[in-house]
Structure 1
């Protein structure tokens, strides 16, 4: 297992390098970070433009710029930003913890709902329960993430107006200024996470529950499950210890593959609810043509995707002992 994990990590390194170079090259060719200075009226002095050109390494060819940026990553240097006072690494790290708590909580809620609803729907196939969960699954699956987030936000605003009090938080990741006391701050953070987490979780849960249902139906009709039932094991034991563990393998694969789309959904959700997380960081970097900031964001998300796929591969052996890595 350890050798398999090491091989997967080693294989992922050239993939990440190739992806980072493509992103860096596209970012460099997409525009000129000095455009705001060149378009000012009156125009910026030539010495200022020359200094910014050197600071942003715009006087270097593409390949040396890329390798210079890549070498700096190993020392914690994510490159110069178009905003001279901003440290990309520090800013990206702070935004990461804002976003990761949203993604982690949404994934946990979506997975729990997907397993419960998928198993229930499979066990009660072609009943009112199955038809109801299927309808809700397709309903949330058809909803664009931004539209669902806007509906939830507007619903929270209308509810606050109806009760004439701030009960549901609809803007920001925390209150400004934060309430005094550690306990009050934790409650405040959790309160701001309610609507964004629901918006992000429902979209993921919808597709995952369908995979769980289909996988459970396939496993329930397999020979070893029928054998376990014929040996006198209880229905609950057969479902939990035999059927469910095998049925979770496809869900594990889908969850790992969907992590990229979840991060993309978080960008949209954070924009709607005006969170200062990784989504806002990426959109700001794109608007200002900040190549190093955008490339660092995409490299970090690439590492997250690779890590989740590696964890999924390792979980296969836990869920099904028949799976072994030589």
Structure 2
């Protein structure tokens, strides 16, 4: 392992060194800081004086290779905490400061979107493989190719039109679904869920009808309670909703984790759901007494999972670890639902504040300027700004993950050990979740790390369309304003992340597949 890492890090360092020189040379040719002065209408003497001053300041009279090694000397300091990537000669701001802000913005924008795309894409891909050559499979295949081929900027514009402008109009008009919308959405959802569950025609129609009725009932409930105007007020009805969804989460997690026949795991999950509902009002009092912050929220999430583990072991059974795992996952989602409910209680105040003017879904920027209020107000603001670009990235990215996982699952399902597991009499859930699922995700181990680490380079088109000041926007602005150091700071991060992502992918693949040896 040590030999492998040393060899890969050495070759990666050489690649970064060579690529940084080539990029510096090309960017130095592409940008011209003196272009604005040359086209200026100021007097000739003053123009020549400013040209000479800027030439001396940026060392433009020196050969490119000399300037590169001067830049490299400062960049090499990043390895021991003395990073100097130059300054923006227009604003006199350090490039390291510009990059730190841009990286945080890009992380907020694309990291969560990438994780969601992987999870949703993998789930849809597996279901599509299990329903091979069905109407659901053909529909997913068509939608995957369609979303994969659509330009990102076009999807972004559609998101602005339908999920921002139209949705804001919908809220301003009272947030009421029409009868046509209720019937249409219920039928489409029921058809999709019934086809995904598969089985005979009777089973598909039965599941589809139940799903359609449930969706229709939820939409009617949203109309009666004006959910989109005031999602939660902390009342008894909101507590009942939390309880119902907590129980549904407990059944769903148990069905996927151990199966509903494992009563100890089911009771553990239901106990956690009951604890979450019982803590509904105490947590509201807690948030009123304690100033909320992200560290406290994350700490409470960890505590919730630890409580879930304790509940699982307390219920015991022949396989306590499975009960603990099921209860911990259930606790995580129940705690997340309590967090979202508290956040929803801020929705009305946020949407009707003097900064938002009744149109809460933002179409541009990463925050509302001069927004006041509490942690809950600012978190709501962050979510409303990140919603559209995240959905855009998820729709475009998950199409490729769906195709990867579908192909991998079909290959795994034809393996001999899957036939052996079925011949032993194992349930289909056990065969899929414990044997096929894990091995079907192996190809993603070589794709996902590269995607996740590489997105730190910025979603250039998405950031431009939605006005986010992330890494991609920083690079475009640097080229437009002829700022060499800022452009090179961006390119350096991308050059370092590319080989690092491949190393992580190799190590992860070796951990997941014992047949792979990185030191071979």
TM-score category by the smaller chain?
over 0.9
Counterpart selection for 1:138 from 145, 159, 162? 145
Map of 2:166 onto structure 1 = 158
Matched, 1:287 2:480: yes
The equivalent residue for 2:109 is 102
- Residue 492 (structure 2) aligns with: 299
CA distance in 1, matches of 2:465, 2:7: 40
Deviation, structure 1 residue 184? 1.6
The answer on whether the counterparts of 2:507 and 2:518 sit within 8 Å (CA) in structure 1 is no
Deviation of the 1:308 alpha carbon: 2.3
Instruction: Please tell me whether the aligned partners of residues 56 and 81 of structure 1 are also in contact (alpha carbons under 8 angstroms).
Output: no
Deviation of residue 31 (structure 1)?
3.5
1:188 and 2:381 matched? yes
Q: 1:171 aligns with which of 360, 364, 370?
A: 364
Is 1:253 equivalent to 2:446 in the alignment? yes
CA-to-aligned-CA distance 1:125-182 (integer Å, 9 cap, x gap) = 1112212211221121121111101110122123223433213111110110133222
Greater alpha carbon shift after TM alignment, 238-247 vs 136-145? 238-247
Structure 2 length as normaliser, TM-score? 0.60
Residues 172/6 of structure 1: CA separation in 2 closer, same or farther (3 Å cut): same
Partner of residue 65, structure 2: 63
Contact 1:56 1:80 in 2 (8 A): no
C-alpha contact (below 8 Å) 1:172/1:192 kept by paired residues = yes
**More displaced 10-residue stretch of structure 1: 15-24 or 245-254:** 245-254
What is the TM-score of this pair, normalised by structure 1?
0.93
Give yes or no for contact 1:80–1:87 (8 Å, CA) kept in 2. Answer: yes
- Greater shift, 66-75 or 7-16, is seen at 7-16
SS at match of 2:425: coil
Match of 1:224 in 2: 417
Aligned length: 326
Number of the residue aligned with 1:204: 397
User: Counterpart in 2 of 1:111?
Assistant: 118
1: distance between equivalents of 2:503 and 2:436? 24
Cα distance in 2 for residues equivalent to 1:84 and 1:290:
10
Q: For 1:147 and 1:262, how far apart are their aligned partners in 2? A: 20
Supply the distance in 2 between the matched residues of 1:265 and 1:90 (Cα, whole angstroms).
16
Q: Which runs of 5+ in 2 are unaligned?
A: 173-357
Change over 3 Å in CA distance of 1:5–1:244 after alignment to 2:
farther
CA contact (8 A) 1:122 1:130 kept: yes
Q: List alignment gaps of at least 5 residues for structure 1.
A: none
- Max Rg structure: 2
Distance (Å, rounded) in 2 between the aligned partners of 1:264 and 1:72? 21
* Alpha-carbon distance in 1 for matches of 2:87, 2:60: 11
